[in-house]
Amino acid sequence: MRYLIPVVVLAALVVLFAFGLQHDPREVPSPLIGKPAPAFNLKLLDDGTSYSNADLKGRPVLVNFFASWCEGCQVEHPVLLKLAREFNVEIIGMDYKDKPEDVTNWLARHGSPYRKVVMDEEGTAGLDWGVYGVPETFVLDAAGTIVYKQIGPMTEQAWREKIAPLMAGAKP
């Protein structure tokens, strides 16, 4: 009987790994889910006027932390463009630790899915929002409460299965 121990241990490990393959270990649940969006007051990219968390209220929006220097942002970019154009989703871009000229060039080259681009040059808003790597996307309901956080690039699957239902249900 003791000769069967290795097989049993292996079987347990395989079950564990099968579970592991379906989960991303980098996905840390955000403590901000269900809480109001953290306060910020920053400048907009195009005209330099100020934009704050109060401006996010009144309709469901996506708040997308991105940067011109970030590779994952290029990966998700076509998906964001599709959401903005085909589904008319309001996406607010938070340009994280980036320079205005760099991001202007970047958006000119790739196209902009954003209604507004907020400059978070120092990364202070990112810190308050608990961003630990761009891209990250927050789903806010009409009351300005965070209902979901997408870590890493936005995907069509995440949109279809998670975010679209949330946004539909978050209308005022």
Partner 1 sequence: MIPELGHFALILALGVALIQVLVPAYGVWKRDARAMAVATSAAQTQALLVFISFGCLMASFINLDFSVAYVAANSNSELPMIYRITAVWGAHEGSLLLWVAILAGWTLAVSVFNRRLPADITATALSVLGVVSVGFLLFMLLTSNPFDRLFPVPQDGKDLNPLLQDPGMVIHPPMLYMGYVGFSVAFAFAIAALVSGRLDAAWARWTRPWTTTAWLFMTLGITLGSWWAYHVLGWGGWWFWDPVENASFMPWLVGTALIHSLAVTEKRGLLKSWTVLLAILAFGLSLLGTFLVRSGVIVSVHAFASDPARGVFILGFLTTVLGASFLLYAWRAPKLVSEGEMTLFSREGLLLINNVFLVVASASVLLGTLYPLVVDALKLGKISVGPPYFNAVFIPLFAPLLLMVGLAATVSWKRAKAGEVIRHLRAPFIIALIAAIAVPLLIHERAPVAVIAGGFLGFWAIVTALQEIWRRIRAKTGFVSGLVGVPRGVWGMSLAHLGLGVWALGVTFVSSFSVEKDVRLAPGQSIDLSGYEFRFEGVEPRTGPNYDSDFGTVTIEHSGEVVATVHPEKRLFRATQQMMTEAAVDHTPFRDIYVALGEPLDAQGAHTGDWALRLYYKPMMRLVWLGGALMVLGGLLAATDRRYRLSRAAESRVASNSVVA
Residues found near partner 1 in the complex (CB under 8 A): 3-4, 6-7, 10-11, 13-14, 16-26, 28-29, 69
Rg, C-alpha atoms of the chain: 19
- Shorter beta-carbon distance to partner 1: residue 136 or 141: 136
DSSP 115: S
Give the nearest distance from C-beta 28 to partner 1 in angstroms: 6
123: alpha, beta or left, given left = phi > 0 and alpha = psi -120 to 50?
A: left
Quick one: tokens of 170?
């978050």
Give the nearest distance from C-beta 14 to partner 1 in angstroms: 5
Q: Among 111, 126, 66, 57, which residue's Cα sits nearest to residue 93?
A: 66
Give the nearest distance from C-beta 56 to partner 1 in angstroms: 28
User: Residue 165, CB half-sphere, CA atoms under 13 Å: how many?
Assistant: 5
Give the nearest distance from C-beta 104 to partner 1 in angstroms: 18
- Shorter beta-carbon distance to partner 1: residue 26 or 171: 26
Alpha-carbon gap, residue 75 to 98, rounded angstroms: 18
Give the nearest distance from C-beta 13 to partner 1 in angstroms: 8
Q: Locate tokens 């953290």: which residue?
A: 38
- Shorter beta-carbon distance to partner 1: residue 9 or 127: 9
